[in-house]
Chains A and B, each alone.
Chain A
Amino acid sequence: MELSIFQDKELAQKILQGIKREAERIGREVKLMHVCGTHEDTVTRSGIRSLLPENVKVMSGPGCPVCITPAEDIATMMEIMRMAKEEGEEIILTTFGDMYKIPTAMGSFADLRSEGFDVRIVYSIYDSYKIALKEKDKLVVHFSPGFETTTAPAAGILKEAIDRGIENFKIYSVHRLTPPAVEALIKQGTVFDGLIDPGHVSTIIGVKGWEYITTEYGVPQVVAGFEPVDFLMGVFMLLRMIRKGEVKIENQYTRVVKYEGNVEAQKTIKALFDVVDAKWRALGVIPKSGLELKKEYKDYEIRTFYKVKPPELPDLEKGCICGAILRGLALPTQCPLFGKKCTPRNPVGPCMVSYEGTCQIFYKYGALF
């Protein structure tokens, strides 16, 4: 399939011309926000910020489910591991590579492993489930973060575990929903002229899942893919709407995203999870933004079996401005610790740890704007 065209330099140049013309005609500063770590990666890796006209600013919102996982939940999971060991139960804890290293005031999962606990990095919840099928005499717990894109696989695997009655497989759900976070930012006063919707979240929830942000809050949106050409096209489509004074939602990523999304995945998520109010690290509690396993499936949630009171922990170290970065109010270069006290090797805050964290992406590509 000829998909390389989406990386085509010439096409990108043409779109940039279009962007320049639209930006000139708009004439004032335009702020666009995206909420996806992979979009930030595209933007920074291909130097898109420096190519855009001066009056077009791209901010990055809460783009990474790892960054926003509350420190208390990581600490609670660590306490569960300790409690289980005392009671003589062996737990294998699995999670994703970046989650593994996220620091809290009580340490990280990596620290837990160096204490001698069985903590494993997996690429997929499917891998974690396969460990459970193999090691039947041990309990496998997947610490499960993720927005809709990652929640769908989690729901798929859990459904199979439930259907097959696999009892030694459980999760610790820290799943979160993306549109309520955008809604909360708008309510808290983050101002932007247009939103670039995350292509992968949209693959699951569809254009439909975002529509209310346009109708209720008057924000133009474009669902965009992840090649540089996709992102630039998204910017262009937004600018064109803003110039014409249109308030709509358009889909740039039609090769993947459908209006109604992946209905099968939505059904499975809905069948297993209830929507609840949930805390986001550095952003506070956001109404109806978290997912909790339904009562009838409580046996697949590890917290049903171990009652640990979450410790009171600070969200961020002193001086870390991840909170402002996640709200789309600042970029990493505005943080006095960026690249000095805080680097991927010695991260101070979560945004520097996760592969999709804005600070790490800026650091990795040496983006100094």
Chain B
Amino acid sequence: MCLAMPAKVIEIKDNVAIVDFGGVRREARIDFVKDVKVGDYVIVHTGFAIEKLDEKAALESLKAWEEVMKAMEE
């Protein structure tokens, strides 16, 4: 029951979105991610988007790790 997965928002109607999990489309409620737009990625848990996925933060965290790893090699 607990699996939450990233999905892309395809369509929004009131507080229900159609989201795409790599090919499989489903409805997801967006009550808790008010500022979500078509094209955004969201984390969906039991039919609810619980947060937006922040691409910038994702890339930044990768960069930060790379740096830590590099520092360790020294």
Interface, chain A (partner B; CB < 8 A): 1-3, 5-6, 11, 14-15, 17-18, 21, 36-38, 64-66, 96-99, 123-127, 145-147, 149-150, 152-153, 156-157, 159-160, 200, 203-204, 233, 252, 254-258, 262, 264-265, 268, 354-356
Contacts and interface: CB of A to CB of B under 8 A. Distances in A.
- Name the residue in A65, A66, A254 with the highest tally of chain B Cβ atoms < 10 Å from its Cβ: A254
Given A203-B43, A255-B54, A152 B60 contact: no
Contacts of B24: none
A254 B32 contact: no
Given A3-B6, A97-B1, A203 B48 contact: no
B47 to A, nearest CB: 3
A177 B15 CA distance: 26
B2 A152 contact: no
A38 B34 CA distance: 26
Interface residues on B, range: 20 to 34
Given A65-B2, A150-B2, A354-B1, 4 more contacts: A17-B72, A96-B1, A99-B1, A152-B48
Contacts of B6: 3
A124 B51 contact: no
- Name the residue in A123, A127, A200, A257 with the highest tally of chain B Cβ atoms < 10 Å from its Cβ: A200
B48 A153 contact: yes
B50 A255 contact: no
B6 to A, nearest CB: 7
A156 B46 contact: no
Contacts of A156: 29, 31-32, 48
Contact of A255 (B33, B47, B55, B68): B55
Contacts of A123: 46-47
A204 B46 contact: no
Contacts, number: 123
Interface string B17-46: 000000000010101111000000101011
Contacts of B60: 254
Interface of B: 1-4, 6, 27, 29, 31-34, 41, 43, 45-48, 50-51, 53-55, 57-62, 65, 68-69, 72
Given A124-B48, A204-B50, A255-B61, A149 B2 contact: yes
Nearest to A148: B50
A204 B46 CA distance: 14
A284 B28 CA distance: 35
Say whether chain B's binding surface is mostly helix, strand, loop, or mixed: mixed
Contacts of B41: 1
Given A149-B45, A156-B32, A257 B51 contact: yes
Given A14-B69, A268-B32, A124 B46 contact: yes
**What are the 10 closest A-B residue pairs judged by CB atoms, nearest first?**
A124-B47, A255-B58, A153-B48, A96-B1, A126-B47, A124-B46, A254-B57, A265-B32, A156-B31, A255-B57
25 contacts: A2-B59, A11-B65, A17-B72, A37-B2, A65-B1, A66-B1, A96-B1, A96-B46, A123-B47, A126-B47, A145-B1, A149-B2, A150-B2, A152-B48, A159-B31, A254-B57, A254-B58, A254-B61, A255-B57, A255-B58, A255-B61, A256-B53, A262-B33, A264-B32, A355-B3
A3 B32 contact: no
Contact of B32 (A5, A152, A257, A354): A152
